Amino acid sequence: MQKLTSSITALGANGGSCQSAPRDIADFARGENAEVVCQRVFGAGAGDDREAGGAPADWPVTRLLGNGIGRGAPTICHTHAVSGAPVGRLRLDGEVVGTLFEEEDIRYCLLGNLRPPDIGAPRHEQARAVLEKMERALESAGMSMTDVVRTWFFLDRILDWYGEFNSVRSAFFEERNLFAGVLPASTGVGAANAAGAALVADAVAMRSNQGRLGRVNVPSPLQCPATDYRSSFSRAVEIRLPAHRLLYISGTASIAPGGQTAHAGDLESQIALTMDVVAEILLSRGMSWSNVSRGIAYFQNADEASCLDRYCRDRNLALPPIAVSSADICRDDLLFEIEIDAVAA
């Protein structure tokens, strides 16, 4: 039986570089009889698309430079690894863009560092190209867009064109009939990337040919659907597997029930509301913070990350290690966003 490890995290202290972390973590994973399937490196020290030493990694590495605010924040390398199952690499246009593995009848495809082929094209064309590249990668794995359960979109200068991106994504999803099924959970934040593209994307897809995989959109009890304000993602998606349930909670921010920003410009109040929203989503699935297996907190200014620590300390809330990144949120009056994975029987 395989075990998917989703919170191997390396830190470069005081804004230091993690550029050698991909290979270092791969060595650690092999020592644990596991194999790296994908990585994200956040921060000013994220480096370029090649590892230290000049050799490209044999798995997708998404390198994000952040938004330039909070330069004292550590560079973070966040890694997924899998053990107990053969791992295959998915190549497209001469580069590794994904990893494939199976557990019984369930096939997993993790895609990363999906970039547009022409970084000089208009931003809306780059967005469309990334979605088409995601689809081509899935097709080469015998899957389709309807198998996608989780996406991440990292947009350079997100505040300049998030509405434009949403229009492109919504049109693409409509063409693929995704609105008739389960919309993926998603994170969309503002961060530059090492390639200089308008955006990069990551995704998780799952498929079972024998009906051993269930998927359901999970609403947020304290918020309206994101589609109400033309953002095409689910607040959360629950995956029902033979032995357990996996809950992907999308990037969540301080959004009021009507879709407007709550507590504009007030970081501590935004953190409090956001954490309440996440807690209610967990509770709606019979889970709690104790079920959390992985998380990333995005701060407009990562120097203020201690506010989340203080929130948890004041409430005696024990969370697993939460990675912190400096990124713009999708509205200029939002200062904080968090994404969470949780697991339960």
> Half-sphere exposure of 263 toward its Cβ, with a 13 Å CA cutoff?
14
Angle (CA) 118 123 128, round 5°: 75
The answer for 68, left when phi > 0, alpha when psi is -120 to 50, beta otherwise, is: left
Dist CA 23 CA 268 (whole Å):
37
pLDDT along the chain (345 residues), means of 10: 51 51 71 85 62 63 84 72 90 94 91 97 98 98 97 98 97 96 97 95 94 93 93 96 94 96 97 98 97 93 92 93 90 97 96
Please count the structural domains in the chain. Answer: 1
Place of tokens 């593995």: 101
Which pLDDT does position 10 carry in this prediction?
Answer: 58
Tokens 């701060």 belong to 299
How far, in Å, CA of 185 to CA of 340, rounded?
A: 11
d(CA 32, CA 28): 7
Structural domain that includes position 264: 3-344
Q: Report d(CA 277, CA 185) in Å as an integer.
A: 15
Give the integer Cα–Cα distance in Å for 189 and 331.
Answer: 9
Query: Which of 69, 109, 119 has its CA nearest to residue 89?
Result: 109
Token pair in block for residue 154: 């990292």
- What is the CATH classification number for the domain harbouring 290? 3.30.1330.40
| Contact assessment for residue 226 and residue 233, using Cβ atoms and an 8 Å cutoff | yes
pLDDT given for residue 171 in this prediction: 97
- CA-nearest of 70, 80, 100, 92 to 306 is 70
